[in-house]
Amino acid sequence: MLAGSHLDVLVALLAVAALTWLYRRDVRGDRTAREAMFGQCSALFDPVLIKPRLGDYPILVGRYCGHDVRLEPVSDTLAWRKLPSLWLKVTVLARNPGSGVLDVLMRPLGTEYYSPSADLPERIPLPPDWPREAILCTSDRSTAPDPDRLTPHLHLFDDPKMKELVITPEGTRIVYQLDQAARPYYMVMRQVKFARSTVQPDLARTLLDSVIAVGQSMSIPARQAA
Amino acid sequence: MSDAAITQSPPVTGEHVNLLKVLGPIHVWGLGVGIVLVGEFMGWNYGVGKGGAFGALISCWVIGLLYTCVAMIDSEITSTVAAAGGQYAQAKHTIGPLMAFNVGLFMVLTYTMLNASDIQVAGQLVQIGAQQLGHDIPWQPFTVLALAMLTLLNYRGVFATLTVNFVITAAAFLTIIVLFIGVQPWNPTAVLLHKELLTSLPYGWLGVIASLHFGIWYYLGIEGTCQAAEEVRSPGRALPLGTMSGMITLLIAAAITWYVTVGLLPWEYIGWDAELAPLYDAARMTASPFIIVVLFIGTLLSAIASANGCINDASRAWFSMGRDRYLPAWFGAVHPKYRTPYRSILFLTPIAALFALYIPLAQIITFSILSGLLNYTFMPLNMWKFRRKWPVGTIRRGFEHPFHPVPAIVLMILCVTTFFAVYLGYGRQLLAMMGFYIIASVWFAFYRYRYVRRGNQFTMPWPRPQGY
């Protein structure tokens, strides 16, 4: 019969072992889920390279319809009193005319660390028919793309998951909400659980086509655009 | 229930995706009481020392009314001010940066002091448990260990992946039920000794007022259950129903806690300043090893869960203030790998540690309560201005709390009364906190404000306020 103190130690060790097993099981499960992020949509790209990141979601770089593209998931847990979001940055690397940056950010909170908007010095008043929850920022109005060129694409912001549209000399990017943390888990333990952590082919295709269309609008000569 | 059904807006493809979430135990537990429930396990008992057992019960229900008003007002704020940050964001829009700065500071100190009290209790509980097993160990290392582990988890962020089995964590609430059943409430004299232990109000009605101070502790943090979604507003009733469900859960838990504890322990012991974990001590009176172990685990888990939430929320608030330049922008940095507000986390951790290691529990709780109370005091003022500047119908509100301005008036009266209650027992702490906030406000107004980007304060797509 074990003495009382030995029994206490044994129980404590068993508890630690059980917790360790639980932890390792969950780590493996989470890593597997993250690595499968682009498993279903990778066939859209040729060639394609999925770059794993230790302790983070992988990044996909590849070629889609003749364009170099990059898909990068970003987890955002920094907004206060707001459920965390899993954003997908969809970037088409095709040069745009001009040397300035134009940024349309929806529902700005000031905590969007993945957005260049906080560092852009100029804020442009929103044109009348633009969504009122947006802010429009630029690095230099004289060298950035004309915001009016985005008018045919404003329907993109009808989707509340659309967060940002950025146009830089190096390319065009949208930021789209892939998922939002499950409320009960976050409320109890501030634990972030995303139910949907894979990019579906239809979604990827639609987002990429949208970004390509925006980029092509930037390249149309001014007279043709008008 | 807060998330019974979530319907996604159509994605860019035009397809509708409806997602009906099946309700499980986690959804019940996740009524939001997770981080608030620690108030049932410790801290409320100091109200018994102020006003006796019945005084604490009265304060429990009166403060429940206070928090009902808070929940109603906060639900309207969170569902209307699409910018995250709750009262912080609203204060920016309705009053201005100085008010928002103070609200942010209130929240940071509320959660940091709550964190300090949680980890002190966790450490001392480990000491008590070890003493029960015949080992005499200091509590401070366990307090520091708990804080260090939780800080590391929050530093590492979402990818730290210490997922806790919710069957275990749900026990923190179920332990109260277990204790309730264990004392056989259907057989009043078998275990519970209300007749022998309950007394009339030892300090009269002044004592009842004084006990309002610690009645706050039952519910402190419930406003943190209002977590906004990314889309402009959550489904109309989801937030207030979720918050009110949490209030009802807490009221039931508070009533059970009081009923069991005052039936097992004399009020003088319960209200004693050195009484750390009244529910656990009540369990020890049952002499049932099972109930004692269950309550030990429940108290420890609720304290750890609360501390984790506090580190998360306090650091996000401090980070937001850094991003807004209310504080040095240095605090607004994001860890390049873990995507966490690491500087804010590391800055607030030593403050929590100092208070946890060197300040008595009742005083830490008082500091937390005072900061929360200041926030609740300004809520009626903010709501009043909010409704005056943007009356119902001028902007879209996800939820309009009923009977305005009655909840605001009731909340203000109860807050003023509770300040008086704090003054009765902790006048020096009250003055110290007031002095701190005044000095901080002067620093902000005369020094820091020059760095604030004034054009970025107002982000809501609202029309010009009435009267402007």
Instruction: Determine the pLDDT at residue B59.
Output: 92
Contacts of B30 in chain A (CB under 8 A): 183-185, 187-188
Contacts of B32 in chain A (CB under 8 A): 187
| Strand A122-124 relative to strand A67-76, pairing | unpaired
Q: If you count them, how many residues does chain B have?
A: 468
Quick check: A150 pLDDT over 60?
yes
**Torsion over CA of A26, A30, A33 and A35, rounded to 10 degrees?**
-130
Alpha carbon of B162: minimum distance to chain A alpha carbons (Å): 6
Please answer yes or no on whether A188 and B323 come within 8 Å at the CB atom: no
Phi, psi of A209 (to 5 degrees): -60, -40
Alpha carbon of A220: minimum distance to chain B alpha carbons (Å): 24
Instruction: Determine the pLDDT at residue B227.
Output: 67
State the average pLDDT for chain A: 88
Quick check: A174 pLDDT over 90?
yes
Contacts of A111 in chain B (CB under 8 A): 84, 319-320, 323
User: How many Cα atoms occupy the beta-carbon half-sphere of A202 within 13 Å?
Assistant: 6
Quick check: B63 pLDDT over 90?
yes
What are the C-alpha distances in Å from B118 to residues A33, B36, B354, B375, B464?
34, 11, 13, 21, 44
Higher pLDDT, A140 or A221: A140
Task: List the single residue in A with minimal CA-CA distance to B13.
Answer: A206
Q: Name the percent of chain B lying above pLDDT 90.
A: 41
Question: What tens digit of pLDDT does each residue of A30-59 get?
Answer: 888 888 999 999 999 999 999 998 878 999
Asked if B297 contacts B142 with a C-beta cutoff of 8 angstroms, the reply is no
Confidence bin at B229 (pLDDT 50/70/90): low
Residue with tokens 């500087």: B343
Asked if A122 contacts A143 with a C-beta cutoff of 8 angstroms, the reply is no
Please answer yes or no on whether B11 and A206 come within 8 Å at the CB atom: yes
Asked if A176 contacts A162 with a C-beta cutoff of 8 angstroms, the reply is yes
Rounded to two decimals, the ipTM of the complex is 0.85
Quick check: B301 pLDDT over 70?
yes
Spatial separation of the C-alpha atoms in residues A187 and A212, rounded to whole Å? 39
What are the C-alpha distances in Å from A136 to residues A124, B128, B197, B199, B232?
5, 59, 67, 66, 18
Asked if B182 contacts B291 with a C-beta cutoff of 8 angstroms, the reply is yes
Quick check: B77 pLDDT over 60?
yes
Asked if A155 contacts A174 with a C-beta cutoff of 8 angstroms, the reply is no
Instruction: Determine the pLDDT at residue B138.
Output: 95
Question: What tens digit of pLDDT does each residue of B252-298 get?
Answer: 888 888 999 999 999 999 998 888 889 899 989 888 888 888 889 88
Range B386-414 average pLDDT? 87
